[in-house]
Amino acid sequence: MIDPVIVEAPPVATPLATRRAIQSYWSAAFSRLRRNRIGMASGALLLFFVLVALAAPLLARLITHTNYSSQDLANTFANPLSPGHILGTDDLGRDELTRLLFGAQVSMGIGFLAVSVSLAIGATVGLVAGYYGGLIDGVLMRFVDIILAIPSIFLFILMSILFKPNTVTLALIIASVGWGSIARLVRGEVLSVRTRDFMVATRALGARDVRLIVRHLLPNVLHVLIVFGSLYLGSVILIEAALDFLGLGINPPIPSWGNMLTNSETFFFHSRWLVIWPGVMIFLAVLAANLFGNAVRDAFDPRLRGE
């Protein structure tokens, strides 16, 4: 270590006690997010859906005393608030509330899994392409162009036929298309960050490529991932519901909000609530995800600061 004192530190002008609290970019962003009431409310609603999804089996046992597939053919199309069935029953006498609870598992599970996988793949591809540039960038980005050029609904249909969809495979199918836009965004951000002097300065310290990418580039593009990820959640929930609705996603008897809609279409004229319940759930979940995503964007996107 270095011992000799080179320069005497100048006397400190202000007492240390009066120094302002140091706020990092992250803590500043989080406090902006906390001040956004709509954002926090929608975040709470989203959290509620997640908790419901996680606790679905427990709630089913404690509150509805049934499971999602047990049929009661003597008690079909029961009205809401009928004894034992708070939200009524469907065409096979299955408890509607229980099925909605388990439906949350599908929506939330696929939603968060697909977003995570998309972010992981998209960030990796974007970082690598943007950092190395040249041929690697060209190949990766043309591949992204190809994926994004094919109508995604067609890709979803194709892959749903190739792979039997369950919660995990359906999430992967959605993510296999979703990572493309993220890779593009991240690459764009990396292109601007990597030309800044600190990247060369850090290389001049002897840092390796992996360290430069993971320790120095990634934190500088993290805000892109956070913002995109939170806005993307709403679309994933909607895409998943649409695939289920078309019969290309999760299939009965496993309940999902999408396939419950398909199932109840037929009975719309005499049992309207069977359409309304899952529709409202999808609406609320997507709305909460989008509002929360907007709040996150307002808090984290450095370009929106100072408004």
Q: How far is the CB of 20 from other proteins (least distance, A)?
A: 9
Q: How far is the CB of 296 from other proteins (least distance, A)?
A: 18
Closest to other proteins by CB, 2 or 81: 2
Q: How far is the CB of 45 from other proteins (least distance, A)?
A: 31
Q: How far is the CB of 216 from other proteins (least distance, A)?
A: 6
Q: How far is the CB of 119 from other proteins (least distance, A)?
A: 18
With beta carbons less than 8 A apart as the criterion, state whether 33 and 291 touch: no
Closest to other proteins by CB, 32 or 211: 211
Q: How far is the CB of 121 from other proteins (least distance, A)?
A: 23
Q: How far apart are CA 207 and CA 271, in angstroms?
A: 66
Q: How far is the CB of 197 from other proteins (least distance, A)?
A: 4
Q: How far apart are CA 199 and CA 213, in angstroms?
A: 10
Ramachandran angles phi, psi of 176, nearest 5°: -65, -20
Closest to other proteins by CB, 65 or 305: 305
Q: How far apart are CA 12 and CA 14, in angstroms?
A: 6
Q: List contacts with other proteins (CB under 8 A).
A: 1-2, 4-12, 16, 19, 22, 24-25, 133-134, 196-198, 200-208, 211, 216, 219-220
Angle between helices 96-132 and 218-245 (to 10 degrees): 140
Q: How far is the CB of 7 from other proteins (least distance, A)?
A: 4
With beta carbons less than 8 A apart as the criterion, state whether 174 and 156 touch: yes
Query: Could you give the C-alpha distances from 299 to 8, 22, 119, 219, 233, in angstroms and in order?
Result: 41, 18, 19, 16, 17
Task: Write the CB contacts of 228 (distance below 8 Å, at least 6 apart in sequence).
Answer: 119, 181, 182, 185
Closest to other proteins by CB, 2 or 149: 2
Closest to other proteins by CB, 17 or 81: 17
Q: How far apart are CA 282 and CA 275, in angstroms?
A: 11
Can the peptide bond before residue 253 be classed as cis, meaning omega within 30 degrees of 0?
Answer: yes
Query: Could you give the C-alpha distances from 142 to 41, 62, 118, 135, 194, in angstroms and in order?
Result: 40, 53, 18, 10, 21
Closest to other proteins by CB, 83 or 206: 206
The structure tokens 């939170």 sit at 230
Task: Write the CB contacts of 101 (distance below 8 Å, at least 6 apart in sequence).
Answer: 52, 53, 56, 59, 60, 64, 68
